Amino acid sequence: MTGGKSVQERYRRLKESALLREEDLYRRPVVRVGMATCGIAAGAAPVKEAFTRFIEEKGIDARVVEVGCMGHCYAEPLAIISKPGFPALCYGYLDEDLVERLVEDFLLNDDPCYEFALVALETNDVFPTFSDFPRGVHEQKIVLEHCGFIDPGDIDQYIATGGYGALAGALAGEPAAVLERVKESHLRGRGGAGFPAGLKWEAAVRAGGSEKYVICNADEGDPGAFMDRSILESCPHQVIEGMLLCAYAVGAAQGYLYIRAEYPLAVKRVQLALEQAREKGLLGTAILGTPFNCDLEIFMGSGAFVCGESSALVRSMEGLMGIPATRPPRLAESGFRGRPTVLNNVKTFAYIPPIINRGVDWFRSIGTAENPGTAVFSLVGKVSHTGLVEVPMGTTLRELIEDVGEGVPNDKAFKAAQIGGPSGGCLPEASLDIPIDFDSLQEAGAIMGSGGLVVLDEDDCMVAIARYFLEFTQQESCGKCTFCRLGTKHMLDILTAITEGRGEPEHLEILAQLAGDVKEGSLCNLGKTAPNPILTTLRYFREEYEAHIKEKRCPALMCKDLIVYYIEPSLCSKLCSVCVGSCPTEAIYTRTDGLKAIDQDKCTKCDNCLKTCPPDYNAVIKLSPPELLAEKEGKGS
Amino acid sequence: MSLIEGEEELIRNGVAEALLDHDRARESLIPLLLKVQGKLGYLPALAMELIAEALQIPAVDVYGLATFYNRFRLNPPGKHQIQVCMGTACYMVGGDIALDCFERRLEIGEDETTPDREFSLERVACVGCCTMAPVVVVDELVEGHVTPTRVDGILLSFGREIPKSAEKTEQEGENSP
Amino acid sequence: MSKKVTITIDGREIEAHEGEKVLWVALDNSIFIPNLCALKEKEHPSGSCRLCYVQVEGRPEPVTACTLAAKEGLSVQTRSPQVDRLVKSAFELLLSNHRLGCGRCPRRKSCALLKIARERGLKMRLSRLSALELDVEIDESPETFAFDRSRCLLCGRCVWICQEVARVGALGFTNRGITRRVGTFREVSLAQSPCTECGLCVEACPSGALYFKEKSDDK
């Protein structure tokens, strides 16, 4: 492209002014409050308000800035305080009292209250940084690099980190150079299947024609995965820059971000980011003064998990039901409006600017040969440090769960890692040493999927979890093809029967057959992967199915129809009646001897009494199979 | 359901206004439906017919879309919307228990609205606050760690009496004819 | 015109247009492949019934014939153990959601399911699955025909004909997943819908879901 020099010059001016603003900002103390959806849910809004109020009351010259999610969701609300002369420090579990103290002691006086600090952001002599913790040793951030550190509502903060520099550099050269780099990087699409992004782009280039589209799939619907939302809320510009680089490489002048309407904050922040990029001449016509034109728009998805499937997503953008289409053609040949279309996941696009900036060798030095780069997970469930993590491909599940997540809390035993959501599988303890990458996970029966990782412990029933996912896919099946519409329904019915104690010995065989047929026979990947939760639990936890079917017993004491609640008289105290008050159905009564007992006819098994019974007694227990009750009652009372 | 006076006017205006911002093309269908629902709270039959007419597509296609996507609703929602998250993390720690409690207290099932139109109850797939599971979203406010006791607390905060016994208290309607 | 190619189906060499879907090449040459949702006039195959699986030489997994394009040298077997297993499974899944009792069905002489059962030696009853609950209301509101949803297989032929050929737009798909159905705007009866009773949908129906009141198989 002509005028390479003037592009770079324009970008240099943008960056200079951004750096000046940043320098000016950090001349005084700055408080960055984590305000992604997770932070707000944990109470970040009143925390931010408290910082602002106390700073004003005390007449301190300091700024309060909204940032996105740092990934340490377990400790939210979180804030980073930077004060000249001190390393930037991150504080967690904030509330109004702690905020008041931090403002008084740290901002007004010079005591950083190290006892409340979680971590320092830069190396110093006093306080540990991320790399001093097991999590920091494993974590390597590419996609999440800026998330939680910059204000997503201020484009200058992204530019100050070097943002849009990859775009400027690319525009100074030929589109083919961008494509070449992405191909050489061996970046695999992060939407689930791991198809090489470069090959997808190349197909769109080859398809020819003047009208092409770039679409970012942010229709994240996996229950238990929220990284796409978090990225869009925390660093939308990195995704936008990635999309622009793709548009330049394939020759598209229009792109869309397909975002779930259930993510209102992400929609709002992306909208603002697009406006700011347009104002700076980074989006729209004559980008950075070059002949390259490209505009991006938001399309709001209306809640259909199947729209994560690319052909269904495109159909929904065309005003149709989100129903997958038969292939060929592929989207790269005939996609949105029948034109060549590149559709990639949020994370895939977010990798592009760093790859262009730092080069192919750098990217391929991270991760494994076949799976370069990092894996982003939302780590949730029975794990101490829940949150958003990014580790190099090839890290083992054990490292991820035990080091990064700090293991299973409450001295419970680990049972399984559920990876890849409804399309993924449950891997047992024995599989924990497999490296995380597309191929190894698939071999073990799970999939990388979009990166949800739910840790399950001894209290979680594997039949119930398989049933839960089947219920989800069955509800979210578009209903078009026979195998998915009816196959998932029959599989769900069988699993329901098993969890309710109506399982028959032949059910396991039928379940395995159906699962195999649905996997092979379904039209799209939603159907083809729907049986994975069943197949993996049957493979690794068959004995739990058998206990449900043969003994009508739920080993994890989770399936309501196979358990009863019982108050152990030898543990119960006459002096306490917490459980009586906590029972929403008045099923608990006081016996003549003052101890408590449960009227089984009234009990809804809501678990409230077990939760509220004071730890001194722990008198409420669950029994399975329910027949054990007669035995207990015979002995007790 | 028949429309009360003034309602028809409201619907017609709502649709006309939404149509101003969009091309009259099939592609605009979902954005239009979202916008109209944003205004009216639901998609009345008349609105779907007007949109079908404007885009020159069969009304059954508009209805098909409205019944395909989770987000669209064909009936007016309650004044307070309670969404119980059924993401994996929430389910594993008792999201279904929270849903049960709301159903029991409000005496409605999921996707239903109380007869006084005060509350509507629905289950939603992951709202992305897995670290605070189980999560309930009440009128866009996220409530974390929702136990049965907290369910009662939430309803009490809206002035909903929690019956202390199984007997139901009859309440007289305020607007007598 | 596209160029001619030679493909092999079950050992028979057959001339076909390049790109033509193998399902139609086979059917035009009197080779039976089970199918419900396929419509020759429809440019893009729906691929929803999953019954037309065939085995392609050199490919491990069965492929649907409605999406498989003819090209020079393509060799296809209409039967293989894998194909038979998938077809049997899909067939039983459809039956589990279909009102049986063929004796009383108006289409008992021209039913596509019966034909598939005959050709492939499949039973018209459930072996491993339980029958699902059916929607048994019958819409008898049109003068000339009726619509019995409990026999509908969701192949979508009627919807396509109603919208693309008759250009009436009375019928459409509504809802999602297991509740997906062929319906009308707000599920009103056909008489209350824009239906003109042209009857094209009835002719397109492969099962006993849509049938003429006067011309059913026993008249």
Cα–Cα–Cα angle for C168, C171, C176, rounded to 5 degrees? 145
Q: State chain A's mean pLDDT as an integer.
A: 94
- CA dist C170 and C191 (Å) reads 10
CB within 8 Å of chain B, chain A residues 411-430:
418, 421
- Any idea what the CATH number is for the domain that residue A588 is in? 3.30.70.20
In sequence order, which residues have a C-beta less than 8 Å from that of residue A57 and are 6 or more positions away? none
Judged by a CB distance cut-off of 8 A, whether residue A479 touches chain C is yes
Q: What pLDDT is stored for residue B17 in this prediction?
A: 96
Least confident span in A3-7, A161-165, A615-619, C194-198: A3-7
**Domain identity same for A196 and A302:** yes
**Domain identity same for C192 and C133:** yes
Tokens of A42: 């944990």
A532-565: pLDDT as tens digits? 999 999 999 999 999 999 999 999 999 999 999 9
- CA dist A554 and A626 (Å) reads 10
- Any idea what the CATH number is for the domain that residue A419 is in? 3.10.20.600
- CA dist B12 and C68 (Å) reads 48
**Domain identity same for C174 and C115:** yes
Q: What pLDDT is stored for residue B169 in this prediction?
A: 34
Asked if residue C58 belongs to a domain, the reply is yes
pLDDT band at C63 (very low <50, low <70, confident <90, very high): very high
**Domain identity same for A341 and A292:** yes
- Any idea what the CATH number is for the domain that residue A216 is in? 3.40.50.11540
Give the C-alpha distances (Å, rounded to integers) separating B3 from B15, B34, B48, B50: 16, 21, 14, 15
Contact B68 C174 (CB under 8 A): yes
Tell me the domain boundaries of chain B: 7-68, 80-157
- Any idea what the CATH number is for the domain that residue A505 is in? 1.20.1440.230
Peptide bond into A329 cis (omega under 30): yes
**Domain identity same for C134 and C207:** yes
Which of A411, A441, A460 lies at the terminal end of a domain, its last residue? Answer: A460
ipTM over 0.95: yes
Asked if residue C142 belongs to a domain, the reply is yes
CB pairs under 8 A between A and B: 151
Asked if residue A557 belongs to a domain, the reply is no
Q: What is the nearest CA distance from B7 to chain C, expressed in angstroms?
A: 19
Per the CB < 8 A criterion, the answer to whether A138 and A374 are in contact is no
Q: Where are the alpha helices (DSSP H) in A413-487?
A: 438-443, 462-476, 482
Contact C169 B59 (CB under 8 A): yes
- CA dist B79 and A88 (Å) reads 45
* Best to test chain C binding among A480, A511, A526 (most C CBs inside 10 Å): A480
Contact A585 B104 (CB under 8 A): yes
Asked if residue A604 belongs to a domain, the reply is yes
- CA dist A252 and A295 (Å) reads 9
Per the CB < 8 A criterion, the answer to whether A235 and A382 are in contact is no
* Number of independent structural domains in chain A: 5
Least confident span in A213-217, A379-383, C12-16, C208-212: A379-383
Q: What pLDDT is stored for residue C53 in this prediction?
A: 98
Asked if residue A139 belongs to a domain, the reply is no
Peptide bond into A328 cis (omega under 30): yes
Contact C177 A477 (CB under 8 A): yes
Task: Classify residue C58 as left (phi > 0), alpha (psi -120 to 50) or beta.
Answer: left
**Domain identity same for C8 and C52:** yes
**Domain identity same for A568 and A526:** no
**Domain identity same for C100 and C193:** yes
pLDDT band at C217 (very low <50, low <70, confident <90, very high): low
**Domain identity same for A470 and A600:** no
Asked if residue A503 belongs to a domain, the reply is yes
**Domain identity same for C15 and C54:** yes
**Domain identity same for A94 and A126:** yes
Q: Please choose, from the candidates A375, A372, A356, A352, the residue with its C-alpha nearest in 3D space to the C-alpha of residue A364.
A: A372
Which of C35, C51, C79 lies at the terminal end of a domain, its last residue? Answer: C79
pLDDT band at B163 (very low <50, low <70, confident <90, very high): low
3-state helix, strand, coil in chain A (%, to 5): 45, 15, 40
Whether the per-residue pLDDT at B176 is higher than 60: the answer is no
The enclosing H or E element of A270 equals helix A264-279
The residues pairing with A588 across neighbouring beta strands, listed in sequence order, are A598
**Domain identity same for C119 and C54:** no
- CA dist A176 and A187 (Å) reads 16
Least confident span in A2-16, A502-516, C153-167: A2-16
Average pLDDT on A162-178 reads 97
Q: Which residues of C touch A490 (CB under 8 A)?
A: 93, 96, 129-130, 132
- CA dist A368 and C49 (Å) reads 41
Q: What pLDDT is stored for residue A364 in this prediction?
A: 97
Judged by a CB distance cut-off of 8 A, whether residue A582 touches chain B is yes
Residue type, B97: I
Q: What pLDDT is stored for residue B1 in this prediction?
A: 53
Q: What pLDDT is stored for residue B92 in this prediction?
A: 85
Average pLDDT on C51-62 reads 97
pLDDT band at B175 (very low <50, low <70, confident <90, very high): very low
Asked if residue A13 belongs to a domain, the reply is no
Give the C-alpha distances (Å, rounded to integers) separating A136 from A55, A88, A410, A502, B29: 32, 16, 23, 48, 47
**Domain identity same for C47 and C129:** no
**Domain identity same for C43 and C120:** no
Q: Which residues of C touch A523 (CB under 8 A)?
A: 47-48, 50
Q: For residue C30, what are the domain limits? A: 4-79
CA A40 to chain centre: 16
Which of C79, C104, C134 lies at the terminal end of a domain, its last residue? Answer: C79
Q: How many other C-beta atoms are found inside a 10 Å radius of the C-beta of residue A516?
A: 16
If DSSP states are collapsed to H, E and C, what string results for C37-81? CCCCCCCCCCCCCCCCEEEECCCCCCEECCCCECCCCCEEECCCH
Least confident span in A274-278, A357-361, B82-86: B82-86
* Number of independent structural domains in chain C: 2
pLDDT band at A590 (very low <50, low <70, confident <90, very high): very high
**Domain identity same for A184 and A122:** no
Q: What is the nearest CA distance from B177 to chain A, expressed in angstroms?
A: 36
Q: How many other C-beta atoms are found inside a 10 Å radius of the C-beta of residue C112?
A: 19
Architecture per CATH, B80-157: 3-Layer(aba) Sandwich (3.40)
The enclosing H or E element of C12 equals strand C12-17
Contact B69 A303 (CB under 8 A): yes
* Best to test chain C binding among A316, A485, A492, A511 (most C CBs inside 10 Å): A485
Judged by a CB distance cut-off of 8 A, whether residue A316 touches chain C is no
Asked if residue C88 belongs to a domain, the reply is no
Beta strands (DSSP E) in C74-123 are 75-77
- CA dist A551 and A559 (Å) reads 13
Whether the per-residue pLDDT at B129 is higher than 90: the answer is no
pLDDT band at B87 (very low <50, low <70, confident <90, very high): confident
- CA dist C217 and C219 (Å) reads 6
Average pLDDT on B27-48 reads 96
**Domain identity same for C106 and C178:** yes
Whether the per-residue pLDDT at A304 is higher than 60: the answer is yes
Whether the per-residue pLDDT at B2 is higher than 80: the answer is no
- CA dist A165 and A288 (Å) reads 11
Q: What is the DSSP track for A522-579?
A: -SSHHHHHTTHHHHHHHHH-HHHHHHHHHS---TTS--GGG-EEEE-TTT--TT--HH
Q: Which residues of A touch C178 (CB under 8 A)?
A: 474, 477, 479, 485-486, 488-489
**Domain identity same for C199 and C144:** yes
Contact C176 B67 (CB under 8 A): yes
Q: What pLDDT is stored for residue A4 in this prediction?
A: 64
C144-203: pLDDT as tens digits? 999 999 999 999 999 999 999 999 999 999 999 999 999 999 999 999 999 999 999 999
CA of A303: which chain C residue's CA is closest?
A: C176
Whether the per-residue pLDDT at B168 is higher than 80: the answer is no
Q: What pLDDT is stored for residue A193 in this prediction?
A: 80
Contact A262 B29 (CB under 8 A): no
Per the CB < 8 A criterion, the answer to whether C170 and C210 are in contact is no
A227-255: pLDDT as tens digits? 999 999 999 999 999 999 999 999 999 99
Asked if residue A16 belongs to a domain, the reply is no
Asked if residue A9 belongs to a domain, the reply is no
Q: What pLDDT is stored for residue B5 in this prediction?
A: 75
Q: Which residues of C touch B49 (CB under 8 A)?
A: 185
pLDDT band at B173 (very low <50, low <70, confident <90, very high): very low
Q: For residue A110, what are the domain limits? A: 21-134
pLDDT band at B165 (very low <50, low <70, confident <90, very high): very low
Asked if residue C218 belongs to a domain, the reply is no
**Domain identity same for A471 and A578:** no
Per the CB < 8 A criterion, the answer to whether A315 and A338 are in contact is no
Cα dihedral sign, C209-C211-C217-C219: positive
CB within 8 Å of chain C, chain B residues 56-115:
57-64, 67-68
Tokens of A601: 């006819």
Q: Which residues of A touch C66 (CB under 8 A)?
A: 326
Tokens of B175: 């607007």
CA of A514: which chain C residue's CA is closest?
A: C89
Residue type, A107: L
In sequence order, which residues have a C-beta less than 8 Å from that of residue C70 and are 6 or more positions away? C5, C7, C16, C17, C18, C19, C20, C21, C22, C25
**Domain identity same for A191 and A332:** yes
- CA dist A175 and A270 (Å) reads 25
Asked if residue C89 belongs to a domain, the reply is no
**Domain identity same for C198 and C154:** yes
Q: Please choose, from the candidates B83, B77, B68, B93, the residue with its C-alpha nearest in 3D space to the C-alpha of residue B126.
A: B83
